[in-house]
A and B are shown apart, each in its own frame.
Chain A
């Protein structure tokens, strides 16, 4: 069975600074996807960034980037130039990559990020 672990329950960062959220996972699969989802207070969860395990290049989306270490089964999220709107719960998630619409996301326990003005 796959597991996703987020060891930082809460983090705080000053506006405009950079912060890194950690995630580790365990799987025997070779083909899979990893995600970071953001859940703002009282709002719906949205996808921040996605990484295919077969790609060596780390994914980036504007101010968000990941450090994917497949051998170490580590998948951290770096947020650059933090903004007040980045305040949210961040979930790391895993999904098997065998395709089809029957896949499901397995989530970690989340990291609550507070961006301070």
Chain B
């Protein structure tokens, strides 16, 4: 089966510009996560979706970050305006079961550099 697809793989922008990342989950996976991985740190959860509903967005900087999952399939994560500290790899991960066993399926990530 196809894995989790993310695009773009790399993006370089100036501060105060906007950027959007896209994630296509494994078919049928209802749970979708966006993690932010800053260099030298572990992934930090930004937002979690169950189908098209938000389960947890407590660590999402809502003044600049937004995310949606229309129709409960693809998801987009947007940053506007970007700051230097947003430079990171943005990971999308999905899970397809009813009881979360912790085996998430990750995409290759989208690396953002803010200059």
Residue numbers of A with Cβ under 8 A of B are 4, 6, 9, 33, 35, 42-47, 50, 91, 93, 95, 99-110
- Complex formed: what's the CA distance from A6 to B43 in Å? 13
Enumerate 27 A-B pairs (CB-CB under 8 Å) in ascending A order. Answer: A4-B42, A9-B40, A44-B107, A44-B109, A45-B43, A45-B93, A45-B106, A46-B106, A47-B102, A50-B102, A50-B103, A91-B42, A95-B102, A100-B99, A100-B100, A101-B30, A101-B50, A101-B95, A102-B31, A102-B55, A102-B56, A103-B102, A105-B43, A105-B102, A107-B42, A107-B44, A110-B42
Knowing A46-B106, A109-B41 touch, does A104 contact B30 (C-beta < 8 A)? no
User: Contact: A109 with B40, CB < 8 Å?
Assistant: yes
User: Contact: B91 with A93, CB < 8 Å?
Assistant: no
Using Cβ atoms and an 8 Å threshold, which residues of chain B touch A47?
102-104
Q: Tell me the interface secondary structure of chain A in the complex.
A: loop
CB distance from A93 to the nearest CB of B (A): 7
| Interface size classification for chain B | 20 to 34
Question: B45 within 8 Å of A by Cβ?
Answer: yes
Residue numbers of B with Cβ under 8 A of A are 3-4, 30-31, 33, 35, 40-45, 48, 50, 55-56, 91, 93, 95, 97-104, 106-109
Residue of A nearest to B42 (CB): A107
User: Contact: A95 with B100, CB < 8 Å?
Assistant: yes
When A and B form their complex, which 9 residue pairs have the shortest distance between CB atoms, in order from nearest?
Answer: A107-B42, A103-B100, A45-B106, A44-B106, A95-B102, A101-B31, A109-B42, A44-B108, A47-B103
User: Contact: B48 with A102, CB < 8 Å?
Assistant: yes
- Complex formed: what's the CA distance from A6 to B42 in Å? 10
- Complex formed: what's the CA distance from A99 to B31 in Å? 13
Partner of B33, one of A33, A104, A109: A104
Using Cβ atoms and an 8 Å threshold, which residues of chain A touch B99?
99-101
- Complex formed: what's the CA distance from A39 to B108 in Å? 9
Using Cβ atoms and an 8 Å threshold, which residues of chain A touch B44?
107
Using Cβ atoms and an 8 Å threshold, which residues of chain A touch B103?
47, 50
- Complex formed: what's the CA distance from A105 to B98 in Å? 16
